[in-house]
Every structure is written in structure tokens, then in C-alpha cells.
Amino acid sequence: MDLDFEKLGLKSGLEIHQQLDTGKLFCRCPSILRDDKPDAIVKRHLRAVASELGEFDKAAIEAQKKELEYFYEAYADTNCEIELDDEPPKPADEKALETVLKIALMCKAKIVDETVIMRKTVVDGSNTSGFQRTALIATGGKIKISNKEVGVQTIILEEDAARPMQKLEGKIIYRLDRLGIPLVEFATMPDLKTPEEAKECALKIGELLRRTCAVKRGLGTIRQDLNVSIANGARVEIKGVQELEMIDEYVRREALRQFNLLELKKEMLAKGISPKNFENETIELSGIFSGSQCKFLNGKKVFGLKLEKCKGILGKEIQPGRRFGTELASCVKAKTGLQGIIHSDELPNYGISAEEIGKVNEKLECAGEDCFAFVSGEEEKCFNAIQIVRERCAQALAGIPEETRNPLEGGNSEYSRPLPGAARMYPETDLDPIKISLKKLKKIGKELPLAVEQRLELYKKHGLGEKLANEMKLSNYACFFEELLKKSFNATTAAILLLENFTEMKRAGIPVENITNEMIVELLGAIKKGEIAKEVLLSVVAEWAKTPQKNLSLIMQKFRIEKFSEEKLRETVKKIIEKNIELVKEKKIAATSALMGDLMNELRGKASGTEISRILNEELKKVN
């Protein structure tokens, strides 16, 4: 369906969560993810607590009702007691704070004079303490997209959650490697009026963040939350979209979902449906399915509900491939842990026979325009599930519910939990407020990253090719690369080393992360002075990466790198020409390519290719 988004009154805002490439925020553990077997596993039960005003957050209460157990995998050498909530937090990582201040200055946001670390209640098990630490850094500012300026609502520094590894019946297993990695949360105003604007804005924010050269890369390092509403609808948050290219589709399908729910409301009212139509008694249907061909009903407890005048309603499509009945099932699954519901608008199906359908209609006293829904599982959970169906159907008559939804593959979404409120926030008592001085901001303001256009212009000035320039412009090496250019190092040599050589060596298992910026400067300096030939550069780097405690001169000695004088180099060239004199006389200057191959084998590591080529051409002219 083609929607007129202006007529629908679409409004959308973004919350971008980007991991920073620094140490962890409130402890001094490294920010690395692990795939090996953990050293310890800790079990916890979490419960909601009241805010300082004595209020409970409804999302936390709903999470507590699930009564799940949480298990946390930890490592002796990369986790600490702070992550287990057994020790008070340390002051915020300085590099992470400075990076977020840079981001705020780059979009001309208003930075607070003093920020108070807050605790944000989170009872889904993703944090061992039951809360996430977060700090407001700035408000306001603008992001420029092609046709407008988009307002910045808030810029926040916070810690990432633990990584969910496995979800089992009654428990979730998390890993503590991700817990505490610094995140910048960048939230816009609801100024985005089309799906395309939302996507463009997300890409623009991503560019702004990458310009700092201090953000992590790869799957899972950036997550987008989309806030979407239409006129007469409600604000809905689609949480955790990871694919930037899909943002417009998620916005489009949420607008469609709200539009279809409003159309469904009209249809229900036209049929004379009211909340009373959903208030029928919960009836046990277990006996009907005692010998059923449906495996997940046979021998199980089954309870059903008559929905008066609702025939066809649960079968209405809300999003592509998702019916209103699917919406009800998602709520039941999220709130009770049951797999969902079965309703008459989708039957016969699942091995349920026409005879069984007839018996259910008879048992529930369904007339021609009625429909029914039923669930299977533990009795208490079934009664809770039926009540959820009643409430969600009644909600459809009232309008669109505000809620948080999970993204599904392809652009649809499903119910996750209620929208959290202010009741989940309270001050962190173990950390002092952070003062942000004008002096600090002035210093950071002098070090702001160049815009992409400025970088490309600078690279062009230094002779860097288009391919390498485009790879470098938003690389985490870009800021350091600009420092190398100031030192007059060769732009192409430096870019190839950082972007290509290091990547290839990392894939080969060489620990290039041991090569510091200072070591790179020393390497490039040796190349510039002619002390290292490019042909052996990678061997030197690989050896130094494995033994970073050694100095460069020792590494060079190991490879017996000897710089030939021009006189010695010319003697070698003459010998090769003499050895191949017949080829030289026959092909003359065209013999250069063949001779260069022999010379490179002979002189590798002792002279540069450029120098060898120059002398070879000079000597060939003498012969011819």
C-alpha cells in the first residue's frame, strides 16, 4: 500500500547508540568481546525497585513478573568485580567523555556545566546491578540533511549492556564482555517526516560519529532506536535496529501498522463492538483436544475465550504477513512466555480438525459473527494470556498503544514491553558529578575532526588516490593520518600501511594491535630516510608486532637490512645487464621489465624500486 506520509502526519525521531573505541566506562577493563570458554558463571535474580520518588517503572515491573533467572559469564583477565556489581564504579573514562564532548561541539549542541551520573532501572537481566549508568552531556544542536536541519534532542554518555548469549526456558545467559563499553546515545527531535528522511538522517549521524576516529566498527557496535507516530496514533519505539539500510522500511511499516490499526478500530466500531464483547469467561477446552492430531495441544491444558462480533477481525493484516491475531500472540509471548495464541480466523490449521473447531464453537457458545482465541500451557499462564487478549482487543477500540517493539527481519516489528517512564531514573550515589569547564571545552574545540569534504581536499593536496582517499575519510585512522601528513610522510605509503597492510596482517593472525601510533611514526620515518625498503616493510612490522618490547633497530638487524650505496647499486645493475646483453641488444629499452624482475630479486631490501628503475634506465641508455 502506498501511503501519503504528509497526509498521515508521520513523525519520526532517532536514537543512535554507538559504542566508543575506548576502555570501559566505569572500570579499567578492556573493551573486547570474547569467544572462548568463560572462567566463571554467576547467577542472579533481579527485581524492580522504587525511584527516589517512590514510583515503580511499569517496564521493570513487567520484566520482574517473568521471574527469570540470569546467568553471567565472566573472564578472570578481562572482567572485574565492578561488572559483577561487587565493587563501586571508578570515575568515567576520560577518552570516552572527551569523544562525546567532541560530538556535541560538532553539532553545536549546548553542553551542560555539570553532569550527574544517573541510574536507569533495567530489570531484563542485561545488567548485573539492575540498572544502567547514564549521563546527560548536551541538549539542542542541529544535524543537516539534504532538505532541512534536524533538531538534536539529547546527547548522552552511558554504558552498554551485557551480551545475551542464550535464552532458555526460565533463564537467560549473558556474557559480561560487552557490559560497560561506553556508548554515545544521540537522540533527534521528531522532525523526520518521511521514511527516506529517517534513513538519510541516520546515515548523517553515523558519518558524524565516525569522523571522531573513536568509535567501534562491525556488527552490533551501532544500534538504532526509531520513534514513530502518525496523526491520531501514538509514539512507538522500535528498539535495536542494526541495519542502517533498513531504517526507512521499519518507519514505513510502523506507519502502515498504525494506519491499519486505526482502520480496524473504525471497522470494530461500525460492527457495534465494545469492550464488553471481550469480557466473556475463560473456558477450559482441554477435553476437546485430548486426542487431537495437533501435537502441541494433545494432552495439554487448553483455555479459550469467545470474542463477540469479532469474526474476521483477528485475521486482518496489520503489516505485510502479520495479522491482528499475530499482534495479540506477540503480546502473550512477551508477557507470559507462552508461544502465542490460536484463533478461529486462521483455522483450520496446525492439524486442528473441523470437528474440533465445531466443538470449540459449541463450548464457547459462539454465534455466526463471533470468533474465538485459545492458548495452551500452565493454567495460571493461560489465564494471564487470555486476560492479555481481552486487554489488547479493548485497546484496539481505544487507539494505538504506546509501547516498545522489537524489529523483525524484513521491516516488521513485534511487541516487546511498555514504554519506560521517568520513574526508572535516580542519581548514582557512588560517583561524584562531573564538572565540564569552559577551559576543557575550548581545548577540545581546537581539536575537532575535519569534515569529510575537508579531508578529501587535504588528501588530494598530498597526492592520495581516490580509492585510498574514500577508504580513509571515515576510517578510525583518519585523525592520526592527518598528523602523519603534517610530518610530511608519503601519503600513499602511510595509507596503504594503515588501510591495507594492517588489515591483511590482522587476517593472518598477526597482532597488529601491538603496533602503537608512535611505532608507526618510527617505521614511516625509517622508510623516509631510506633505512627500510618497502619490500621488507611487512616482515619488519610483523616481527615488531610479535615483539613490541624490542626497538626498531634490533628488528632491522634481524632482517639484515643493508642500504646499498649508489655506487654499489650501479655495479649490480651493470652485472645484470651484462648477463642479459643479448636480450638488451634485441629489445633495447623494452628489456626493462624483464631486467627489473631480476634486479628486484637481487636487491630486495637493499634499495627502493624507484631507485633501481632510475639507475637501470640510465645504464640501458649507455648500452643502446
pLDDT value for 423 = 66
Question: Do residues 382 and 496 share a domain?
Answer: no
Residue 130 lies in a domain: yes
Q: How far apart are CA 366 and CA 343, in angstroms?
A: 13
pLDDT value for 563 = 65
Q: How far apart are CA 322 and CA 419, in angstroms?
A: 22
pLDDT value for 144 = 97
Burial class from Cβ neighbours inside 10 Å (0-12, 13-18, 19+) for residue 59 reads buried
Q: How far apart are CA 335 and CA 124, in angstroms?
A: 12
**218-270 pLDDT, tens digit each:** 888 999 999 999 999 999 999 999 999 999 999 999 999 999 999 999 999 99
Residue 247 lies in a domain: no
In the listed set 528, 558, 588, which residue is the last one of a domain according to the structure?
558
| DSSP β-bridge partners for residue 163 | 175
**77-105 pLDDT, tens digit each:** 999 999 999 999 999 999 999 999 999 99
Q: Are 258 and 400 in contact (CB under 8 A)?
A: yes
Residue 244 lies in a domain: no
Question: Do residues 149 and 66 share a domain?
Answer: yes
Residues 6+ apart with CB under 8 A from 337: 66, 169, 170, 381
Q: Are 278 and 394 in contact (CB under 8 A)?
A: yes
**Measured between alpha carbons, how far apart are the two ends of the chain, in Å?**
77
Residue indicated by cell numbers 520513534: 227
Question: Do residues 414 and 474 share a domain?
Answer: no
pLDDT value for 202 = 97
DSSP labels, 73-134: EE-TTT--TTTTTSSPPPPPPHHHHHHHHHHHHHTT-EE-SEE--EEEE--SSSSTTSEEEE
Residue indicated by cell numbers 592520526: 480
Residues above pLDDT 90, as percent of the chain: 77
**466-497 pLDDT, tens digit each:** 999 999 999 999 999 999 999 999 999 999 99
Q: Are 96 and 18 in contact (CB under 8 A)?
A: no
pLDDT value for 160 = 97
Sign of CA dihedral 157, 158, 163, 164: negative
Peptide bond into 348 cis (omega under 30): yes
pLDDT value for 121 = 87
Question: Do residues 75 and 161 share a domain?
Answer: yes
Q: What is the mean pLDDT of residues 130-143?
A: 96
Question: Do residues 213 and 316 share a domain?
Answer: no
Residues 6+ apart with CB under 8 A from 549: none
Question: Do residues 63 and 211 share a domain?
Answer: yes
The pair phi, psi for residue 171, each rounded to 5°, is -155, 160
Residues 6+ apart with CB under 8 A from 177: 32, 33, 34, 75, 78, 79, 163
Domain residues for the domain of 28 are 5-235
DSSP labels, 384-407: HHHHHHHHHHHHHHH-PPPEEEEE
Question: Do residues 552 and 575 share a domain?
Answer: no
Question: Do residues 465 and 330 share a domain?
Answer: no
Q: Are 215 and 37 in contact (CB under 8 A)?
A: no
- DSSP secondary-structure letter at 501? I
Can you give the pTM of this predicted structure?
Answer: 0.86
**563-596 pLDDT, tens digit each:** 677 888 888 888 988 888 888 888 887 888 888 8
Q: How far apart are CA 32 and CA 511, in angstroms?
A: 14
Q: Are 492 and 465 in contact (CB under 8 A)?
A: yes
pLDDT value for 227 = 98
- The residue that leads in pLDDT, 561 or 273, is 273
Question: Do residues 414 and 456 share a domain?
Answer: no
- Mean model confidence pLDDT for the chain: 93
Domain with 391 in it: what CATH number?
3.30.1360.30
pLDDT value for 274 = 97
pLDDT value for 221 = 95
Residue 353 lies in a domain: yes
CA angle 225, 229, 230 (to 5 degrees): 155
pLDDT value for 251 = 98
Residue 17 lies in a domain: yes
**511-566 pLDDT, tens digit each:** 999 999 999 999 999 888 877 877 678 889 999 999 999 999 888 877 765 667 78
Q: What is the mean pLDDT of residues 300-307?
A: 97
Question: Do residues 552 and 616 share a domain?
Answer: no
Q: How far apart are CA 222 and CA 213, in angstroms?
A: 14
Residue 305 lies in a domain: yes
Question: Do residues 195 and 308 share a domain?
Answer: no
pLDDT value for 169 = 85
Residue 548 lies in a domain: yes
- For the chain, what is the domain count? 4
Q: How far apart are CA 599 and CA 572, in angstroms?
A: 8
CA distances from 512 to 172, 314, 471 (A): 35, 57, 19
pLDDT value for 530 = 75
CA distances from 180 to 24, 39, 455, 513 (A): 5, 19, 32, 21
**43-68 pLDDT, tens digit each:** 988 877 766 666 777 777 777 787 78
What is the length of the chain?
624
Question: Do residues 544 and 570 share a domain?
Answer: no
In the listed set 558, 587, 609, which residue is the last one of a domain according to the structure?
558
Q: How far apart are CA 212 and CA 513, in angstroms?
A: 19
**391-433 pLDDT, tens digit each:** 999 999 999 999 999 999 999 999 999 987 766 788 999 999 9
Residue 260 lies in a domain: no
Q: How far apart are CA 278 and CA 312, in angstroms?
A: 15
